[in-house]
Structures are given as structure tokens and as C-alpha cells.
Structure 1
Amino acid sequence: MRKLKNLLLTMLFFVTASVFAQTKITGTVLDETGEPLPGANVVEKGTTNGASTDFNGKFQLNVKSTSGTVVVSFVGYETKEVSYDSSDLGTVKLKMSNLLEEVVVIGSGVIDLAEGRKTPIAVSTIKASEIQDKAGNWDLPEILKSTPSVQNIKAGGFGDGQMFLRGFDQTNTAFLLNGQPINGMEDGKMYWSNWSGVMDVANAVQVQRGLGSSKLAISSVGGTVNIVTKTIDNREGGYVKQTFANNNYIKSTVYYSTGVSEKGWSFSSLLGHWQGDGYVNYTAGQGQTYFFSVGYQPNESNTFNFLLTGAPQWHAAAGRGTIQEFLDNGIRFNSWNEEGVNSPNLINGPEGKRYPGGRNIYHKPVANLSWDWTINEKSSLSSVLYGSLGRGAFASERISDGVGFARGSYNNHNWYGLVSNYTNQLSDNLEFNIGTDIRTYNGLHFRGVNEFVGISSINESSTFSGNYEITNTYGGINPWGMLFNPNTEHDQRLGYDYEEDITYYGLFTQLEYSKGSFSGFFQGSVSNQDHVKTDHFNFAESTDSEKVSNFGYNLKGGASYEITDNHKVFGNLGYYSRQPFHDDLFDNIRNSNDLIAPAVENQNITGFEFGYQYGSEFVSMNLNAYHTKWGNRTLLSNNGEIFDTPAYESYQTQGVEQIHKGIELEVMTRPLPGLKVNGFISIGDWKFSGDGRQRTFDSDGDEIGSATTVQLDGLEVGGAAQTTAGVSADYKLSPILSVDANWNFYKDLHSIGSLTQAPLKLPTYNIADLGVSINPTLKEGTYIKGVGFRVNVNNLFDELYLESVNGNTQASSNPSENWKGLNTSNRARFGYGRTWNASVKISF
């Protein structure tokens, strides 16, 4: 009995000692100007024990001992270690950084952010707070427009925008979601309508121009955009947000996170719904956003996270019109959807015009499972296993005398992959990385019936062999129906029916040396892509193409030298042997399995850049110079006419070489308390070099005539402005009121389209935006932690400008047929006029 009593007393002593050893420390995290940083992370060094600051930058954290060190971090600011030996840390000020310094909890070894390597790159980071303030009803590219060498083209309908980086379109810019490549594997394209929810869940977005820091064998030409989403929150909380905007746009969002429990579990979720009429006529749309994350930390060495997100949506598309049509009808004119113009027989339904010209309907859920394993003090392993099921179509009418059907051009896919990276600190000065990137993709492409109008079937026996009657419909205008009711029957398809299988194997490695003021790195990667195309349509047996295998590799290296604490110089050099896209390999991607002859060879990309960085307490500056030579590329273009008409032609031009060079200057300042003023200027010189071999195809994908030589040498590369500049300012007028504005300037923008003629130079233009934020101070201890009101006005002065022109018709000798020096017969798209959005956000 006495032994039992002594044992209980001993246990009680240790329990009591451990309880009393717990110390609660408090403090406030501010930026350099004294503004609070809500959501900053405060973590006990060497553990996963942490807390986040509240709306006023305050925190409290239970730690294991009365003295030690905490690590304080916030996105866009330098991480700071603070020692404590009392319960109050007081004020902790963080210095703003141009780089992303946030501690990424999940996938840290896979997500290639700039601070993951000491040798600098040309990079800009957009914080979560800025994304939330300025997102409104825009897609991600609009938020990135104040980044050097970035231009956003809105393109008319919801989610139809494009982004250019250093003159390269987004098919040649790598987009990563938590380390997972998300560009289309067939053609590299990005469809922002599939990613409308990314603005709601993004913690930060980092634009790496040029060579970047990514170790993957992705061979991006323009650069890399890293989108880092929410995963595990250290504390419980959430928000509800309501957004309103022009043209009857409304969006509702709710987010909640449990924080990390004592057993290491965390759950977070976001749900949203949006709808609106669209700025351009007849471009209504609506959709949802869902995001679910489950995290588990069984111990300090392992962290697991499962994430599921998607943005099902539908939206009507906007076509190009001639400049004259816009001048006659206004910039909201939609050439595809105007009654009596190109769609005389519109289908009517509950939403009014159901298929005016064309409607995009898509659902692309994405899931990934991440595992971070700290093996020991010197080594770690980070892996992401992911999958995506895309289901949807572009639907348009096929009506005569009020009856007919809505035809859908379906583009479905099944996509799975694994990215894994092992890191080992070989010595105090040398770090080694090695990893793998494996992807498998199955694309399903066909035409079918979305719905019947006044009929119940169509018979295509006169066109195809056998009794060919289509009686089933799939999807309608519902993206959820697209996902759960896909067309899996080959005899219920029309027009074309083929699938593509792409398998990708990549291996990458990096070695970085750092000692004193010097750092240097070397990266290498190899990859192999296998391509097979299978044609199903109207055959007794499906036929497979010849299997194509292409080997590629990347080599990158660089070095930097820190002259003083404030001055640093660096240089990077890289060479890519990049495999052609799947769509570049076949003679006719829709109706033929024949490979292009002569075969398409790898593209050759050589890039080098030099940079200088300056940083002080109130001013930081980045100066970059770059030169990119892109050889043996295949260029796809069209004549700008309406698709599915006899006038429409598309062009495939092989053997094209482009040279892009330029300089970029970015300056960030804090001249006064509460005032931030930033500016940038980028000057590019982007031209074609040599000649190309061009083939012409009609709207059915059939080749017209024979290949011809086109003279490209010295022609300007169109699509994006080669000279851009901008200034932005943010001023905190009071603790609850702040105003921000930005001005963007665009010059040396050229047309795209046929390469048989020189491109046209478009008029210079500039745009100003204004924003106001109101964040009332709330009484401490209430359940509601913060309330925020936000108003944005874009294109404040209602500038009338041409965003893009698809055509090469030179100015007419008759002045009445020109506008600002351009022939008004060219097909084009004007940019949006003045728009606005407003939101209220309640945090709890």
C-alpha cells in the first residue's frame, strides 16, 4: 500500500510539474509602419506548437518552459526568431520582404517557392490579404497585372481570360497548385473558369519570371506561377463574405477551420456560390466553389493533409467582332450572341438564352494527399499524390424552324500524378535535393447531344455507316450533371470520338552551395513523354496511333554574391530540350491518327538573366535583365473568324524561333508611416527570327492546300504589350480606414493572327483602379473577431482601349474606315469599361 501511495505521489509530482511548466506568452506582431499583421504565425521553435495573431495582431501561446525562442512569420515578410524569458514579448516588428517567407506547413519540399533557394530569381509575391481585397469578381491574372512583364487579357466571358508573361502566353507559363502542375497536358492551356475558386483559398501567389526556382522538368518558357492554398490553420476560426458587383454579380462565401486539436487533427472547409450577367452582352454565368482539407500530425516528424477542391460552373462565351461592329454597337457587343447577327435561332429556356453562340460547362474536381516527413535534423521527404476528373463541354445550338438540339463538344479527362522530393543537408554549406514527377493523363474528346428541342432523337445514318440514331442527352447546362452523368457510349457520339493517353516520367535534382556572401546552385532534370491517340468513331474496332516517345531534359545553374547587407547581384543560366505538345504531333488531331511528317522535334530554349537587389528599412529594389531564345517551336494560330464557319482557318507553323529580351525594374517603398508606394517598369524586345513552315486547316480540322514557307524574321511577337509600367499606393488614413490605387500603362502591343503579314501596332493605353477598405475596431472578447468592408473601382476613368486584335489588315486610305490608325475591318476585342465590386467580410 505504501509503495502504491509513493508511486501516486511521484506521478502527481511530475504531472503538477508539467502543468506548472506550461507558460503563456503574449505579444503583438506589427509591420515596419506599426500596422498590425492579423494571421501571422507564432510557433515555438523546434515544435509544431503555434498560434496565430488576431485582427489586431495580438497572440497568446502556451509554451513548455519559461524561456526559449519563438519563430514569427507572415506572408510577404521576413521570418524573425524572438527569445523570451517572460510572459510578455511586447511588440514584434517584421520587415517586409520581396520574397515569400511564409512557413508552408504542407508540401514544403514540393512547393518551389523562391525562399527555398538562396540564389535569387526574378520574382514577385502577392499576399493573401491583397488577393482577398482585390479579387472581387476577377480571375487570378487580373490580380497579377501589377507584376513586371505580366499582362492580363479579360477575353469577354467569365473565366475566359489569358495571362502573358514576358511575352509568352499561358500555354508556355507553368502554373502549379501546391506543387502540382495544372496546365493541360495536351496543349499547356489554362482555363480560368475551372479555377475560379482559387482566389478564395489562396494563401499566396508567387510569380517567378524566366528560369524560376522550380525543380520540376516542366520547361516553362515565360516563368512559373506558384499558387499556395490553405491547408492547416493553427487556430480555430473562419469568415463569411458577401460580394456584389456590376451586371448583377453576387457571390457568397463561408469558410471555417477547427485549428489543430491536441491529437493533431485539423479540418477546414470553404463553400461558395456566384452568379452574374457578365460585362459583355449575353455572357451570363454561375458556379460554385468547394474546398475541404483534413490534416493530421501524429508527431513532430510527420504531417499529412488531404485536400479536395473544385469549381463547377457554366458561362456563355463572347466572340470577337470587327472594330467597326464595336464602334457601332458599344464595347459590350457580343458577335456570337446578338440576335439577327450570327445566332438567329436562339434556344429559350428557364435562363433565357440557354446557348447563345456557345456555353462552356465544366466541372474539374482536384484531390491531393500530401505527406511531409522530417527524417532527421538533416533530411526530409515531401510527397504529393494527386488526381483530377474533368467533365464538360462547349455547347452550341443546331436549330432549324424551332426544333433541333444543343451540340456539345466534350473534353473529359482522367489525370493522376505523384511529385516527391528528398532533401539532405550534406554539410553546413551544401544541400542536395532529388525527386520524381510522374503523371498519367487520359483525355476523352467527342461530340454529343446536351439536350433536344422539339425532338427526341437525331438520325445520322446518312452521314455515318449503319443505323446511327442518337437518343440520349448528357449534362445539359449543369456542370454537376456533366460529372455524374458522363457520356460513356460510343454509339451516342457524333462528329468525332477519340481519346489521348499521355504518360510522363520525370526525375529532377538540385545541389546548392552557400558560404558567407556567396551562393550557387545547379539543377538538372530528365523526362520522357509517351503519346498514343485512339480513334473510336464509327469503326468496327478502335484504332490506335503509333506510339510516340520523346525524351527531354533541363539544365539550370546560377550564383549570387552579397556585396553588403543591402546589395546583392546574381545570374542564372538555363537550357531546355522540351518535348512538343501532344496536339503538335498529329496531322489532324480530331479525325486522323497520322503523325505529322516530318516529325515534330523537341523545342530548344536557352535563357539567361542577371539581377541586382537592394534592400533597406524603407526601400527595396529589384533590377533584372533577361534573354530567352526559343527555337524549333510549333505555333498555332487562326484568322480570327467565327469558328464553325467556312471563313474560319487555323494555322500550324513549324520551325519557328523567337527571341525575347528585356529589362525589369521593381521598387517598393515605405516613405511615411502607413504609406506604401510601389512601382515597376518593364521594357521588352520580342521578335521572331528566321522563317517557318505553315500548314492551313479548315474548321473541321482538314488541311487546305500544301505547306508554305512564311517569312517571320524580324516580325514583332503579338498578344502582349512589350512596354509596361505601373505605380501603386496604399495609405492607411486611420486605424480603420485605408485607400489604395494603382495605375498601369501599356505600350508596344501588336496584333496576332495570320503570320503571312506583319502584325499591327495597337494604340497605347493606361488604366487606373481605386480601392477603399474599412475595418472597424471591435471590442475584445467578442465572438466576432473582425468586420471588413471593401470597394473596388476598376478602370476608374472609363478608358476606351483595344485589348487585343486578331488580324493584319493595314490601315485604309479612307480615314473613315480607320480608328486610331487601325483598319476597322480587323477582328478585335475592346477591354472592359468602368466596373466595380463591393464586399463585406465577417471573421470569427
Structure 2
Amino acid sequence: MSTAVAVALSLYATAQEQADSAKIDILLLPNVELNEVNVLGTWAQKDDPIAQINLTEKAIEALNTGRDLPYVLQDVAGVVSFSDAGNGVGYTNMRVRGSDITRINVTVNGIPMNDAESHGVFWVNTPDLMSSTNAIQLQKGVGTSTNGSGAFGASLGLSTLGAGEKGGRITLGAGSYGTQRATMEAGTGKSASGFWMNTRISSITSDGYVERASSDLQSYYVSAGFAGGGHYVEAVRFGGGERTYQAWYGVDSTTMYGPDAYPQFNAAGALYDDAWSVIGTYDDQVDNYGQEHTQLHYRYSNLFGGTFAAALHHTAGAGYYEEYNQGFAFADFGISNYVSAMDTVTFGDVVSRKWLDNDFYGATSSWTYENGDQRVQLGGGVHRYEGAHFGRVIWANNPNVSTLDGDYYTGDAIKDDANIYAKYALTSNNLLVYADAQYRYVNHSSTGGSATGPANFDRTFNFFNPKVGMTYNLGGNQILGAYAGVGHREPNRTDLQYADDANSLQAERMLDMEFNFRNSGEKWAFDVNAYRQQYQNQLVLTGAIDAQGYPIRENVGQSFRQGVEFTGAYELT
């Protein structure tokens, strides 16, 4: 259980950001506002009784200094952002109301971004995505029905769609710890015939605050679209590659705060003598991964009096993390022992690469109908994930490694995810009533194993997630709101693999209750939100981690989170 009070004043400290990362913009043509944005179904409307934060393109641009999205949102009440390297480049992460990224549903243009097996989102795989993002919505708590994994901490939606700017821009940045950023963007704008195209390429490098926590990140974005005659079509392709030195182990309290404190210490890649003194480092203790996202979006504005939207998507990812394993049993890597000076040598040093090669594909659709004071939304999606896990040895101080053939472990996983939802909103005078219901089906199966043992399971989950709420206009801009919603979240791969009995591990269930008051004037806005989140079978940390540094969890009966969030903003000019 936990209780929290979060306070945030949304006064953007752009001067501080610029001090940390000097930026030069070369504008070829003036900026203009986006004229096409197509996000339907999964985003909350402004008046819905959902605790939400919305960022426009202008706000995103002011906050975008080359660091990943968690740092764009770091001043939002209830959000905590952090990074492995310590400076917001490379592996970054965030929590909302104490819930980590595996409990935050993330979509880009309505397409799920959460990894199907770990439920995590790895912003390092899509560096500088903020430079192609024109709108962000953060829904706290269960929120509205969406595609992908269950939203326990929040739902985070990004939009990159639209004709964009006509012209081009080069952004050059430099900051502390050897951080450098170069971004080139160009767009045609929307032509008279309704066509457009946008492109971007980016490169970000950094040495990191933590020792050896370097990052070498490359990314691109390209889209082309057409709008006319009630039809909207846009094809999107974005992706990137990253080579990041591992820095995910952290430090103990003595190293952090003791008399000989050295918080920059990085245990990853450190080599030790028999007395556990560091005698060197391994230069290639890196994570090396690439990811490509392809989306095709279609919208028609007059289907049975409403707007129909559909999308196809495919995400391909492949890469490995390389690791120097000091003093490990050769048998753990499928290597035979050897005899030296009449002794059988069973332990030694091994360099391994743990691979993941996966595909995620599917389709989403929605239909939105508005008639006066009523709004109806129907939608859903179907998705499949196919992942191959395997490990390879590239070196060992063992003569038998030269005869090693094949992988020392292999594992295959398939995960099917489907959902349908219906949403209804009715406005009568000053009252808005909201109802939302979702059915979600999940099947996750795995055969084979991983670096730490077998991973054989086959689980199916069926979830029903209802939500209701209301808002009441007290007069002027004073709005009072209430919301209650149920969310479910299935165990992830690590949970199922390390459970004493994978078949007995339960899905998490949360009842989210929210009460909100907001008011605003010409230059100011104020919002207070109280929440209580009651969990059944919450998966909580045991204190152990797996070989990749992910925490291991187990079910507990009853638990809760509750808190109060205050947000205020004042326009200085």
C-alpha cells in the first residue's frame, strides 16, 4: 500500500533546459501549425472525466532538448523520470503515481508500443521521436479503453500524423557529458491536390554521467499522405538503431552515500580480481538493437454519419546485448569442460550475446459518431507478437569454444491480443455522463528457455474493463468531475517464467476512483485531483531481479495506492 501527494507547477523552465543543452536552430522556412491530426478512439476528449495532460506541438517543441519522452513529462504531477546513464540520453524510463513503464499503456497514432512480453517501452529504440511528435496525451490511472497492454499507472498517447510544416529545419545541440545531437527535418506541407510528405533523420551521442554509459543513437522518420473528398490516407515509417553501454544495475547505498561515495560507478563490464577489486573493464558490454515501425492509416469522415478510422501496423526488432561473464560455469553456456595440467577446468570467462528477434503486427479500427449532445465510439484491435530468444557465445577462455556449434539456449514465444470497446458520452445542460466498456483477450505461450532457465507456459486471459464517470460545470470554467474504472493486466514473460507455478499466477485487477476539480482564467489554470487505486492480486516486487535486470514479482491479495495531485500554470506574457 502507498499514499502520495504530488505537487507540480507547469511553468516550463526553458532557460534551464537550454543551459544543459545548447541548441542551434537553422530554419529554412517559417513554422506553421499542423493542419492534419488523426487520432480517434483511444484518446480522451477534453471534457471527459479523465485525469489528463495534453501537450500541443508548440509545448513539445519548447520541451524537446534531445532527451527522451520521460524527460518531456518530468514536470507533470505524479511523474518521475530517470535514466540509466544519468543525463536523460540512452535508456530512460518513467513512473506515474509509482507505477513503472510496464504498467503504462503507450501508443503512437493508436498503435501499441509496449513490448508484448515484458510490457516495457524502450525509448532508446526510437531516439528523437519527439521531433516528429505533434501532440501528446497522458491519461492517469485506468483512463479510457485503448489498444495494447493494460493501463494501470497511465495511458500515454503520441500523435505524429498530419501534413506538418512546409520547409526544413536543422537542429544542432551540444551539452554536458559529451552529449551531441543533430536533427534534419523537411516537409512539403499539404499541396493543393491534398498530398504531403515529411522526413527526419537524427543522430544523438553521449558519454553519460555514469562511467562508460555511452550512447550512439540513430533514427529516422518518413511519412506520406493524402486528404481529400472525406478520405484520409497516411503511410508512416520510423525506426532507429542504438548501441548503448549497459548501465542498468545501479549502485548500493554505500557507493551512493558512503564516505567514499562514487555514484558514477558502473558494475556492468567491470572486471575483478580474487579480492573483488576492479582491475579493468570490458569495452563491448553493450546493448545493440534496431527497431522498425511501419503504419498505414485510413480515415473516412462519413460512414453511417460518423468517422471511420483503421490502421495496419508492423514492428520488426532485432538485436542483442553482449556480456562478459567472469568466473561462470562453462556448462551454463553449452561449453564442454577441458583438462589443464591434469585438472578438469569447469569455470572460466565467457563472452555471450543474448539475442531477441521479433515481429509485432496487427490492425486497429474505430468509428466515432457525434449527434448534438451525444457521442458514440466503437473500436478495437487485433495483434500478434512472434519472438525468438537465443544466446550465442563469441569467446571463452576454453579451447572447446572453437567447436561450439549453434545456440546455447533457444526460446520461441507467441502472444495474441485482441480487444473491442464501446464508449458513450451524453451532455445535458451542465452535466456530462460518460460510460466505457472493453473486452480484451490475451493468449501468451512460450517454449524453450532463456539464459536463466526454461520458459515453458501457455496462458489465456479474458478481461472485462468497465468505466463510468461524470463532469459538472459549476459555472464559468469551474468543472467538477468523478470517475471509476476497472483495469486488468496479465503477467509478463518474466512473471510467468519465474513463478513457482505459471498456471496459478493471477492477472492483476485494479479499481481506479478519481475526483477532480479544475478552474481556469485568461492566463492561469488550476487542477486538483484525488485518487484511490485498489488492487487485487497485484504483482509486487520480491527484491530479486532476472539476468537482464528486470524485477521479479509475485501476487499479493489486497493493496492500494492513493494520493492528491495539484497542478497549476500561469502565463507570464
**Can you list the C-alpha shifts for 1:673-706, whole angstroms capped at 9, x where unaligned?**
x2xxxxxxxxxxxxxxxxxxxxxxxxxxxxxxxx
Q: 2-side partners of 1:659 and 1:300: how far apart?
A: 51
Structure 1 residue corresponding to 2:105, chosen from 174, 180, 194: 174
**Can you list the C-alpha shifts for 1:543-576, whole angstroms capped at 9, x where unaligned?**
9956422111110011111121221111111123
Q: Does 1:410 pair with 2:355?
A: yes
2:121 counterpart residue number = 190
Per the TM alignment, residue 604 of structure 1 is displaced from its structure 2 partner at its CA by 1.9
Answer yes or no: is the 8 Å Cα contact 2:312–2:362 preserved in 1: yes
Structure 2 residue corresponding to 1:371, chosen from 292, 298, 311: 298
Q: 2-side partners of 1:545 and 1:337: how far apart?
A: 31
Per the TM alignment, residue 536 of structure 1 is displaced from its structure 2 partner at its CA by 7.4
Per the TM alignment, residue 174 of structure 1 is displaced from its structure 2 partner at its CA by 1.0
Amino acid of the structure 1 residue aligned with 2:322: A
Q: 1-side partners of 2:552 and 2:123: how far apart?
A: 25
The 5-angstrom pairing of residues 133-532 of structure 1 reads 133-156=62-85, 158-216=89-147, 218-233=149-164, 235-297=165-227, 299-318=228-247, 319-326=249-256, 327=258, 328=260, 330-338=262-270, 340=272, 344=279, 346-347=281-282, 353=283, 355=284, 358-375=285-302, 378-398=305-325, 406-425=351-370, 427-449=371-393, 451-452=394-395, 458=401, 469-470=404-405, 492-494=406-408, 496-532=409-445
Per the TM alignment, residue 517 of structure 1 is displaced from its structure 2 partner at its CA by 1.3
**Can you list the C-alpha shifts for 1:8-65, whole angstroms capped at 9, x where unaligned?**
xxxxxxxxxxxxxxxxxxxxxxxxxxxxxxxxxxxxxxxxxxxxxx8598xxxxxxxx
Amino acid of the structure 2 residue aligned with 1:422: W
1:623 counterpart residue number = 528
1:654 counterpart residue number = 555
SS at match of 1:321: coil
Alpha carbons of 1:376 and 1:643: their partners in 2 closer, same or farther (altered >3 Å)?
closer
% identical aligned pairs:
18
Answer yes or no: is the 8 Å Cα contact 1:123–1:207 preserved in 2: yes
SS at match of 2:415: strand
**Can you list the C-alpha shifts for 1:173-220, whole angstroms capped at 9, x where unaligned?**
111111111112113112221132212211122221123234447431
Per the TM alignment, residue 630 of structure 1 is displaced from its structure 2 partner at its CA by 1.3
1:668 counterpart residue number = 569
Amino acid of the structure 2 residue aligned with 1:623: V
SS at match of 1:290: strand
Q: 1-side partners of 2:66 and 2:400: how far apart?
A: 39
Amino acid of the structure 1 residue aligned with 2:97: R
Per the TM alignment, residue 655 of structure 1 is displaced from its structure 2 partner at its CA by 2.6
Answer yes or no: is the 8 Å Cα contact 1:217–1:507 preserved in 2: no
Amino acid of the structure 1 residue aligned with 2:560: I
2:481 counterpart residue number = 570
Amino acid of the structure 2 residue aligned with 1:222: G
Per the TM alignment, residue 411 of structure 1 is displaced from its structure 2 partner at its CA by 2.1
Per the TM alignment, residue 418 of structure 1 is displaced from its structure 2 partner at its CA by 1.2
Amino acid of the structure 1 residue aligned with 2:168: G
Per the TM alignment, residue 276 of structure 1 is displaced from its structure 2 partner at its CA by 2.0
SS at match of 2:472: strand
Q: 2-side partners of 1:442 and 1:372: how far apart?
A: 28
Q: 2-side partners of 1:586 and 1:202: how far apart?
A: 36
SS at match of 1:375: strand
Point out the structure with the larger strand share: 2
Amino acid of the structure 1 residue aligned with 2:517: Y
Amino acid of the structure 1 residue aligned with 2:268: W
1:10 counterpart residue number = none
Alpha carbons of 1:639 and 1:534: their partners in 2 closer, same or farther (altered >3 Å)?
closer
What are structure 1's unaligned runs of at least 5 residues?
Answer: 1-53, 58-73, 75-101, 348-352, 460-467, 471-491, 589-593, 675-844
The 5-angstrom pairing of residues 801-816 of structure 1 reads none
Q: 1-side partners of 2:351 and 2:270: how far apart?
A: 18
SS at match of 1:584: helix
The 5-angstrom pairing of residues 699-778 of structure 1 reads none
The 5-angstrom pairing of residues 96-115 of structure 1 reads 105-106=37-38, 108-115=39-46
The 5-angstrom pairing of residues 813-828 of structure 1 reads none
Q: 2-side partners of 1:544 and 1:398: how far apart?
A: 22
Alpha carbons of 1:544 and 1:166: their partners in 2 closer, same or farther (altered >3 Å)?
closer
Structure 2 residue corresponding to 1:561, chosen from 457, 472, 480: 472
SS at match of 1:257: strand
Amino acid of the structure 2 residue aligned with 1:513: L
What are structure 2's unaligned runs of at least 5 residues?
Answer: 1-28, 328-347
Q: 2-side partners of 1:244 and 1:503: how far apart?
A: 43
After TM superposition, the runs of 4+ consecutive aligned structure 1 residues lying more than 6 A away are: 453-457
Per the TM alignment, residue 159 of structure 1 is displaced from its structure 2 partner at its CA by 2.8
Q: 2-side partners of 1:636 and 1:437: how far apart?
A: 31
Per the TM alignment, residue 365 of structure 1 is displaced from its structure 2 partner at its CA by 0.8
The 5-angstrom pairing of residues 123-134 of structure 1 reads 123-134=52-63
1:92 counterpart residue number = none
SS at match of 1:312: strand
Answer yes or no: is the 8 Å Cα contact 2:70–2:92 preserved in 1: yes
Q: 1-side partners of 2:127 and 2:142: how far apart?
A: 27
Answer yes or no: is the 8 Å Cα contact 2:385–2:414 preserved in 1: yes
Per the TM alignment, residue 342 of structure 1 is displaced from its structure 2 partner at its CA by 7.0
SS at match of 1:458: helix
Per the TM alignment, residue 537 of structure 1 is displaced from its structure 2 partner at its CA by 9.1
Alpha carbons of 1:608 and 1:497: their partners in 2 closer, same or farther (altered >3 Å)?
same
SS at match of 1:132: helix
Alpha carbons of 1:428 and 1:154: their partners in 2 closer, same or farther (altered >3 Å)?
same
Q: 2-side partners of 1:329 and 1:545: how far apart?
A: 43
Per the TM alignment, residue 337 of structure 1 is displaced from its structure 2 partner at its CA by 4.0
- Greater relative contact order (Cα < 8 A, sep 6+): 2
2:16 counterpart residue number = none
Answer yes or no: is the 8 Å Cα contact 1:576–1:605 preserved in 2: yes
Q: 2-side partners of 1:523 and 1:650: how far apart?
A: 33
| Higher-Rg member (1/2) | 1
**Can you list the C-alpha shifts for 1:456-499, whole angstroms capped at 9, x where unaligned?**
9825xxxxxxxx723xxxxxxxxxxxxxxxxxxxxx211x2111
Amino acid of the structure 2 residue aligned with 1:555: P
Alpha carbons of 1:570 and 1:359: their partners in 2 closer, same or farther (altered >3 Å)?
same
RMSD: 3.1
Q: Does 1:634 pair with 2:548?
A: no
Q: Does 1:119 pair with 2:67?
A: no
2:513 counterpart residue number = 608
Q: 2-side partners of 1:444 and 1:188: how far apart?
A: 16
